[in-house]
Structure 1
Amino acid sequence: MTSAATVNGTAPGVNLALATWVSAINFWAWNMIGPLSTTYAHDMRLSSTEASLLVATPILVGSLGRIVIGSLTDRFGGRTMFISVTLASIVPVLAVGAAGAAGSYPLLLVCGFFLGIAGTIFAVGIPFANNWYDPARRGFATGVFGMGMVGTALSAFFTPRFVSWFGLFATHAIVAVALALTAALCLVLMHNAPRFQPNTDPVLPKLRAALRLPVTWEMSFLYAVVFGGFVAFSNYLPTYIKTIYGFSAVDAGARTAGFALAAVLARPIGGALSDRIPPKFVVVASFAGTALLALVAVFQPPPDVWSAATFITLAIFLGIGTGGVFAWVSHRAPAGTVGSVTGIVAAAGGLGGYFPPLVMGATYDAVDNDYTVGLLLLVATALIALVFTATRLHVHERDSIGEPG
């Protein structure tokens, strides 16, 4: 079966583009709280820790839920799961809007927990894209699908503006309608690839089998650093920028959108490079750049040119790394386990984004107005990942169930 195969006249490119859009609108929904966190913190008089918890809560569910969603994708296919996750995200989006409009911090936390459903969408797209493309182009395919992360940029840029134009709850209603229309579009246009074969094995044994693979643990660690860094900054950067540089919520959102967009555009580059050179080298370069730029950020480069250059370059290295890691997963994961392995690795990436906002909030120095401790922890983590990748992982390696890596 070649990548040029069609189903009912639908080519791989159409399905990949549609899957990328589904990811983007769900990522926007998943990131509805982050761009408004400074507004919530001001209106509800939240402490730095409380505001960080509010930002991190959707990340937790969006991460852990990917484990189950990845296995369900192996069984039911990407089309069914794309539609299901998108529809299931509508009520939490509206609930978050209602909780925010009511000014209730506890209710916002609870609704934000369920908002994490939207973040599970990533575990659907990787096996879906893999099935549509031959192995030689899977780095490209997963990289393009990964551009759905642009939803975080869309949310950072448009959500604060929509709130100022239309109001808080109306903004959430607009995103809910977009989710509904997207699900309808998938129902009409999306198809599973001809090579897709449902894996009807029970979910728990599949997960246990995936957990026996060294590739699962190794790629989970790497993805927790690169994607976790992207998620953490995409959600917490509005707070960081407002705190350090004093920008308004709208201006902070615009700058965060630039960060997210840079990472999104870099992701397919990382995937495409990994089709041409071993993914290991792509990932090593990503960690080296991440450590260097996080160290530069410790010194609080002045706005707007130097700070923008620092964080956008950091985003590029993180984006290249996310593309490289998942290209590596597609090269190494045994056939029939891609969804399960993807779900676990994607969950690890999301969890990697859960803790940094909490750490940044807890280690913030209000006296000197800096986040030095949190940024230095990122430097150390990136360096540890760099050494691990360079010394412990091989350039050419493929796992099979139960075999050592």
Structure 2
Amino acid sequence: MSTADQSAAVQRGAGANLVRATAAFAITFWAWNLIGPLSKTYSERLDLDPTQTSILVAFPVLVGAVGRIPAGILTDRFGGRVMLTASCFIATVPVLLVGLSGNSFAALLASGFLLGLAGTSFAVGIPFVNAWYPPAKRGFATGVFGAGMGGTALSAFFTPRLVDGIGLLPAHLVMCAALAVMGLICWAFARNAPQWSPNADPALPRLKSVAKLKVTWQMSLLYAVAFGGFVAFSTYLPTMLVSAYDLAQTDAGLRTAGFSLAAVVARPAGGILSDLFGPLRICLASFFGAAALAVLLAFEPPLEIPAGTEFVLMALFLGLGTGGVFALVAELVEPARVGGVTGIVGAAGGLGGYFPPLVMGAVYQATGAYTIGLLLLALTALLVGLFTLKAFRASPSAKPGASAKTV
């Protein structure tokens, strides 16, 4: 295919494939976050203490984090079309198991562990959409794709209502059907970019090669705070609002959906603003802003105007950061390695969301408040912001209008 033909094909297919990938990401993320919005149901049914509840909520995050590493490498090998389809179909199995496990804490932990497979779709979609767009528009592309993390908002809002309306198992069967339909759509209509070619090198050497890149671990640290903070809040916020503010489960879910929606809107904005002003500025605004908001929230301000506004602002800052980090990845990493790097960085982001709920649950059980946990978040965001300023202020790729470079 000539260069002109490739350019025309990209223009025709980029937007449609970005929409399909984003939709698949949203539906798998909804599945990934099925347990968090029902934490009160499970804690009351199984008589769980705050620490047990936090472990249950955080467990799916673990596999969703670590599983992104092989998912990214397999995407470099087999392409986004195959892997997006597989992600949707594979996720139906643990979703069904979770629906069948509502009366056993051990069974919920085991099925929740497997539910983490749904969270690996992120490492599939980033290289898929990255290949469809030129370097100057990859911040936009990865930012829009990242808006699929709004699946957590869909889960927070709809999952408790579905369970209240039709029951626990039927609600999970509906989720299985939605995943299967999305998998069929991806297989029938999604296409890899014309210039994409499979990387057939052995997986382990490829993993070692991207693990040797300094930028991989720098981006992992940044994403562990930006995306990890979002995951931690979106999974644990329903529990936090129920315990700290004595809200009903559906009310807590509604407010968590608002939090997730704000982050979803901010993520593509972070990518677009990174294209205009440089990823460094966007990441710094994210980390320093999140640090300030965590301090304000640490003292449990009254619900609605003070606390509600601060939670929304926290979501906006974290969302900007998730968009900014992957705009920086797209500029610093050559396309053939994006899948592998994305897998490791995405894993770091997921792990960043795994530990805070455990800390929050332990802190609340020990002190009856979340103050210490939120102050630890503030300190972490501040330190990572200072690291970002030092590590990337001299990088030309962090400045507006800079061209991508290979590491």
Q: State TM-score, norm by structure 1.
A: 0.96
Q: Does 1:285 align with 2:285?
A: yes
Partner of 2:386 in structure 1?
A: 387
The one-letter code matched in structure 1 to 2:387 is F
Distance 1:365 1:109 in 2: 20
CA drift at 1:364: 1.1
What is the match of residue 230 of structure 2?
230
Deviations 1:198-227 (A, max 9, x none): 000011100100011111000000000000
Letter in 2 for 1:387: L
Deviation at 1:301, TM superposition (A): 1.5
Verify: 1:6 aligned to 2:5, yes or no.
no
- Note the C-alpha offset of 1:188: 1.3
1:204 aligns with 2:204: yes
More helix by share: 2
Structure 2 SS opposite 1:163: helix
User: Cα deviations across residues 77-118 of structure 1 (Å, max 9, x unaligned)?
Assistant: 000000011100001000000001xx1000000000000000
Structure 1 gap ranges (5+): none
Shift of 1:366: 5.9
Aligned to 2:32: 30
1:246-283, Cα deviation, whole Å (9 max, x unpaired): 11000000000000000000000000011112211110
Structural mapping, 1:2-401, within 5 Å: 5-6=8-9, 11-100=13-102, 103-364=103-364, 369-393=368-392, 394-397=394-397, 400=406
Q: Are 2:127 and 2:335, in contact at CA under 8 Å, matched by a contact in 1? A: no
| CA distance 1:41–1:5, shift in 2 (3 Å) | farther
Q: How far has the Cα of 1:164 moved from its partner?
A: 0.5
8 Å Cα contact 2:131-2:335 kept in structure 1:
no
Query: Structure 1 residue runs of 4+, over 3 Å off?
Result: 1-5, 397-401
Work out the CA distance in 1 between the residues paired with 2:202 and 2:268: 33
Q: How many residues align?
A: 397
* 1:365 CA displacement: 5.2
Amino acid at match of 2:76: D
CA offset digits 1:310-357 (Å, max 9, x no partner): 100000000000000000000001231000000000000000000000
SS at 2:27's partner residue?
A: helix
**Cα distance in 1 for residues equivalent to 2:157 and 2:149:** 13
Looking at structure 1, the residues matched to 118 and 264 of structure 2 have their Cα atoms a distance apart, in angstroms, of 18
Cα pair 1:215 1:399 within 8 Å, conserved: no
Residue 392 of structure 1, CA deviation: 2.1
Q: In structure 2, what is the Cα distance between the partners aligned to 1:365 and 1:311?
A: 22
Q: Deviations over 1:114-163 (max 9, x none)?
A: 00000000000110111100110000000000000010000000000000
Q: Is the 8 A contact 1:5 1:194 kept in 2?
A: no
Q: In structure 1, what residue type is equivalent to 2:349?
A: G
**Length-normalised TM-score, structure 2:** 0.95
- Aligned counterparts of 2:92 and 2:231: Cα–Cα separation in 1: 21
Q: Which amino acid aligns with 2:86?
A: S
In structure 2, how many angstroms separate the alpha carbons of the residues matched to 1:49 and 1:400?
45
Q: Which amino acid aligns with 2:29?
A: F
| Deviation of the 1:5 alpha carbon | 3.4
Helix, strand or coil at the partner of 1:247: coil
Deviation of 1:10 after TM superposition, in Å, equals 5.6
1:1-28, CA deviations, whole angstroms, 9 ceiling, x for partnerless residues?
Answer: 5896337x96211100010000000000
